[in-house]
């Protein structure tokens, strides 16, 4: 399958509700695979440089084509053979930060709320920071494990002692991004306050305040996605799926 087709399928599968106008943004991984007819080696996965090139090309083309209709695509981060991408509706993001409580929450969390472009740039910075902290934590954990294994050879010569535990805090994911994805602010605040536990129902997001309303919203999203995929598989273009 050609890269363009892979990207279009990924957008329909993950951002159908954004195309339809019932969600402000969608965050997803694009993992391009080498088309079989172009394979010069047995490995179908692309290196990060190739992924970055493919993701940037498709994001730019998407924004050029559908920007006049209020849609854009941004590459937030590339690594481990995948690109983290955001498809969004600029007007809906602008409306979000036009709400005083949402703007205050995002600003307190370190987002620039001057406009949609600034929001996306802030999100890119936050995701990059999260990834750096996660890699650093992973590297530190690996080093401690290696040191523990290296010490095992001389353990019989040492007095008995309890095993040291790894008690570092895991890097915090920027959960405030949920607001940009259309999750209710009250649920995002509750998720953070409850450390992701004690929700009433769990679906597209964890709902704490209005479970019936959340479930109705999730059902509408599932139907939207299902209908978009069905239309796309029978020949509809991305342009035809945009509301």
pLDDT at 44: 78
What does the pLDDT average to over 6-17?
A: 98
**Residue 84's beta-bridge partner residues?**
29, 77
Q: If DSSP codes are grouped into helix, strand and coil, which group holds residue 108?
A: helix
For the chain, give the longest Cα–Cα distance.
Answer: 73
Which residue carries 């080093």 as its tokens?
143
Q: In whole angstroms, what is the distance from residue 71 CA to residue 57 CA?
A: 16
For the beta carbon of residue 179, count every other beta carbon within 10 angstroms.
25
Q: In whole angstroms, what is the distance from residue 118 CA to residue 74 CA?
A: 12
pLDDT digits (tens, 9 = 90+) for 111-122: 999 999 999 999
pLDDT digits (tens, 9 = 90+) for 31-69: 999 876 555 555 678 999 999 999 999 999 999 999 999
pLDDT at 157: 32
Q: In whole angstroms, what is the distance from residue 226 CA to residue 18 CA?
A: 14
For the chain, the structural domain boundaries read 183-214
Burial class (CB in 10 A: 0-12, 13-18, 19+), 24: buried
pLDDT digits (tens, 9 = 90+) for 166-224: 345 566 789 999 999 999 999 999 999 999 999 999 999 999 999 999 999 999 999 99
pTM (predicted TM-score): 0.84
């Amino acid at each position: 399958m050609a890269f363009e087709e892979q990207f279009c399928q990924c957008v329909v599968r993950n951002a159908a509700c954004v195309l339809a106008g019932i969600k402000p943004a969608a965050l997803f991984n694009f993992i391009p695979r080498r088309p079989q007819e172009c394979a010069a080696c047995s490995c179908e996965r692309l290196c990060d440089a190739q992924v970055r090139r493919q993701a940037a090309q498709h994001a730019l083309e998407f924004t050029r084509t559908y920007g006049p209709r209020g849609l854009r695509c941004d590459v937030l981060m590339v690594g481990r053979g995948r690109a983290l991408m955001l498809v969004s509706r600029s007007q809906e993001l602008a409306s979000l930060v036009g709400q005083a409580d949402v703007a205050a929450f995002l600003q307190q969390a370190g987002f620039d709320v001057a406009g949609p472009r600034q929001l996306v740039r802030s999100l890119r910075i936050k995701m990059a920071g999260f990834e750096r902290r996660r890699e650093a934590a992973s590297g530190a954990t690996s080093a401690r494990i290696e040191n523990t294994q290296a010490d095992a050879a001389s353990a019989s010569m040492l007095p008995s002692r309890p095993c040291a535990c790894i008690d570092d805090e895991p890097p915090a994911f920027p959960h405030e991004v949920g607001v940009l994805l259309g999750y209710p602010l009250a649920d995002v605040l509750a998720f953070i306050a409850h450390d992701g536990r004690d929700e009433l129902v769990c679906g597209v997001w964890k709902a704490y305040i209005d479970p019936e309303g959340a479930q109705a919203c999730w059902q509408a999203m599932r139907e939207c996605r299902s209908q978009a995929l069905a239309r796309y598989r029978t020949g509809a273009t991305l342009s035809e799926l945009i509301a």
